[in-house]
Amino acid sequence: MARPGWLRSQPCALALPAERALHLLLMFSKAERNAALRAKGQAALRSLLRHGRFARGDALRLHLVTERAARDVIFHDVDVLTEQLLPVVEAMQRHFSAGQGTYYSDAIFFLSVAMHRIMPKEITRIIQVDLDVKYKANIRDLFEEFDKFKEGAVIGIAREMQPVYRHTFWQYRRENPNTKVGEPPPDGLPGFNSGVLLLDLEAMRQSKLYNQLLEPATVQKLTEKYHFKGHLGDQDFFTMIGMEHPELFHVLDCTWNRQLCTWWKDHGYSDVFDQYFQCEGEVKIYHGNCNTPIPED
């Protein structure tokens, strides 16, 4: 399979001394068979480079998870990663996938959950971002968010901006009418969206609590407690453990993951939708989830 011509021309790192490596990972799996995904990737990279401004000594290292090696990026073979991931995430797939053969059923879509066990030890922090985004700010500023993590936090992530988890946790909410689970911000627990993820890999490696939560028995116990059956891969896992252990997460401002999908507004939740969807401030990253068009510049 030939690589898209535009991909060959994209630089992956600044020609500066690698005193501070800024690692950014993009999931580019199945792009060869998906023209729309390739177009989204092209738009995302162009906006990333357009707004990127770096200090001397910074080096942006771009990681692509794809089926084919590319010489001008750091390549991760999807089959190799999947083989490494399966022992950790196989149990999760039963609870957080829509079913065998679906997009999120592939183990690779749980990469963020166990990346600390796969990436080389010298990589201590990495940001993972979906392809269906447009950058409106300097990606370097997002790396500064790592310095805002409180003690015990291992992952930076924004809240989900639709009432999807109000819906998914319906049985738990019915049994616990005073719960904050599934309620909108600022006081509720609306769940997370994994379109933009800050993974403190070293903190994840050192966190006894986080690694206990990866154990199949613990996953099973929590899914039973919350009557949880999801279909969104890693973000379902992060959402569920976030209900139990919010201290593991640094909540990003909504402007770093300004989700645009409005599917749930037209599917039974129009009365509360705006409580989840509102986002004040200048948008830094637009996220065109559920194939929602992203505003033009």
Which domains occur in the chain, in start order?
Answer: 5-289 (3.90.550.10)
| AA identity, residue 157 | I
Which pLDDT value is given to residue 152? 97
Q: Are 154 and 207 in contact (CB under 8 A)?
A: yes
> How confident is the model over 144-185, as pLDDT tens digits?
999 999 999 999 999 999 999 999 999 999 999 999 999 999
Spell out, as residue ranges, where the chain has pLDDT lower than 50. 1-18, 70, 105
Tens-place pLDDT, residues 190-213: 999 999 999 999 999 999 999 999
pLDDT attached to residue 7: 38
> Crossing angle for the helix pair 234-244 and 78-96, nearest 10 degrees?
50
The verdict on whether omega for the bond into residue 185 sits within 30 degrees of 0, i.e. cis, is no
